[in-house]
Structure 1
Amino acid sequence: MKSSAILSLGSLALSLAISGNVAAGPVWNAASCVASKTTPKTMDCKSAAPGPVYSAALSGWSAAGTANFAAADIKYYGGGLGVSAKGESGSPQHAIDNKGGTDAVLMYFDTNFALKQLSTGWINRDADVSILRYTGTAPLQLGASRVNNLLAVPGWELVGNYSTLTKSTPLNFNDTNKTASWWLVSAYNSAYNGVAASGALNNNNDYFKLNGFKGEVVPNEVPEPATWSLVGLALLGIGAARRKARLG
């Protein structure tokens, strides 16, 4: 009976160590984001209460045709955050759209983050989205890349293309808990992965404003020292139980 109890403790400790620390559910409301006082064309956002407060910096980008991404204006309008490239003005061009150029919001979180949900507060015509993450070791330089060669840069990955977002239902994705500090939320473009648009996914007719986003914080992928102590005690307990079983 004691041996079983020790083995159960060992299994629990090992499970805690392997799973890591995951704090679920911080939520960002786009209406609470404010223009950065230090970085042009950037919004500073804080997660909503309750719970710990996390920071996110959002910048606007746009790439026309085969041109490189260029910094664009990002601003909160009625219904959510929109992006306006140079030369664009008025509705619907101040949305995140793919008409004339592909608009995107680059998100930087101050922790390792699994982005899992987006909500939209305004849509015109259609709302298809491409979501990517960057986990590379080199400094991120989005302005050195185009839509059709971004995935050739080490560290960039297309998380997925998602069609027909609605204002009434948030988009849930990333069930496999992929994490990164850098995420790119873009109007859909088939050139990211070179696969022709099909089905409900279409180029050139997507307009939406980002109203909020949420996910899971993963601050540590390596167990804390206290957790390692539990693992050590558990392994010692497993060894003692086996020795006792052999002697018995």
Structure 2
Amino acid sequence: MFKTSLLIIAALIGFQASAATQVWDLSNSSGTSSSLSMNINGVNANITGWSGTGYQNMRQAWIGQWSSGSGVIHDWNEYNSNTHHSMDNSGQYDAMLITFDQEVSLDSFSIGWHYNDSDVSVAAYTGNGSMTDLSGTSWNSFLTSGWTSQGSFSDVANNTYQSISPTVTSKSWLISAYNPFIANMGWSTGNDFMKLSGLQTSQKITTEVPEPAAIALFLLGLATLAGRKRNV
């Protein structure tokens, strides 16, 4: 019994946290919509497209889906012209805003197609609650509006998950074609065109570990029992 009790204590002390992960597939041939809604393992996500120049308020754009991934479409003329069916930084900085119904870590992303260059910027909303509307925000005021840069990533390869190593968890994340207003790396702009094909997120699931004082008391009790056993 004494050995069994020690094993139980070791298990309690060692079992502290685990993570639930989600893989989000943004590759689809369903066409164009104002937003995408998805659910994986009880986690809900809503994705919208946004675009704007550096100093004007952003406006919402459409999300276009293809087999190679999802892009941002500014208007119907752009859709019909068969150009800029991508998330790009040509003329305006395009981005996808992903809002979850619970806090997650955005661990990595993938693109399924790119043209010219494929540099990407990532940010997390660290204000109160979540963010679903960027219409009153411009890129030059973005980082003073509750958003925190999570870095820029150069030459992202097709169909390979790019690790982010985020510093926070959040309900709202933003992925953009390279945007110097998010993380200025001195790279060129106007030449990054890509389609976002996937996301990987995770949630920390923690299990309450007994208080140190309670563990110490339990150990003392076991030691007492062990002493009595030796004296019998």
Deviation (angstroms), 1:204: 1.3
The change in CA–CA distance for 1:88 and 1:232 in structure 2 (over 3 A counts) is: farther
Which string of whole-angstrom CA distances, capped at 9 and with x for unpartnered residues, describes residues 54-104 of structure 1? 321110111123111211111202411010124644444120000010100
Partner Cα distance (1:118, 1:209) in 2: 11
Determine the structure 2 residue equivalent to 1:236.
Answer: 217
What TM-score results when the alignment is normalised by the length of structure 1?
0.75
Q: Is 2:41 the counterpart of 1:44?
A: no
Determine the structure 2 residue equivalent to 1:131.
Answer: 122
Deviation (angstroms), 1:31: 3.1
Determine the structure 1 residue equivalent to 2:12.
Answer: 13
Q: Which amino acid aligns with 2:26?
A: A
Residues 71 and 143 in structure 1, CA contact (< 8 A), matched pair in contact too: yes
Determine the structure 2 residue equivalent to 1:103.
Answer: 94
Does the residue aligned with 2:181 lie in a helix, a strand or coil?
helix
Determine the structure 1 residue equivalent to 2:108.
Answer: 117
Deviation (angstroms), 1:43: 0.7
Partner Cα distance (1:138, 1:171) in 2: 27
The change in CA–CA distance for 1:15 and 1:88 in structure 2 (over 3 A counts) is: farther
Q: How does 1:1-248 map to 2 (within 5 A)?
A: 6=6, 10=9, 12-17=11-16, 19=17, 21-24=18-21, 26-31=22-27, 41-47=34-40, 52-86=41-75, 88-89=78-79, 90-137=81-128, 140=131, 141-154=133-146, 156-174=147-165, 178-193=168-183, 195=184, 197=186, 201-218=187-204, 220=205, 223=207, 227=208, 234-240=215-221
| Higher Rg of the two aligned structures | 2
Does the residue aligned with 2:27 lie in a helix, a strand or coil?
helix
Partner Cα distance (2:224, 2:134) in 1: 58
Q: Which amino acid aligns with 1:28?
A: W
Partner Cα distance (1:237, 1:188) in 2: 56
Q: How many residues align?
A: 226
Question: Which consecutive residues of structure 2, in runs of 5 or more, have no partner in the other structure?
Answer: 227-232
The change in CA–CA distance for 1:33 and 1:243 in structure 2 (over 3 A counts) is: farther
Partner Cα distance (1:76, 1:35) in 2: 5
What TM-score results when the alignment is normalised by the length of structure 2?
0.80
Does the residue aligned with 2:123 lie in a helix, a strand or coil?
strand
The change in CA–CA distance for 1:160 and 1:244 in structure 2 (over 3 A counts) is: farther
Deviation (angstroms), 1:236: 3.0
Among the aligned pairs, what percent are the same residue?
A: 25
Deviation (angstroms), 1:44: 1.1
The change in CA–CA distance for 1:192 and 1:168 in structure 2 (over 3 A counts) is: closer
Residues 13 and 231 in structure 1, CA contact (< 8 A), matched pair in contact too: no
Cα RMSD for the two superposed structures? 3.4
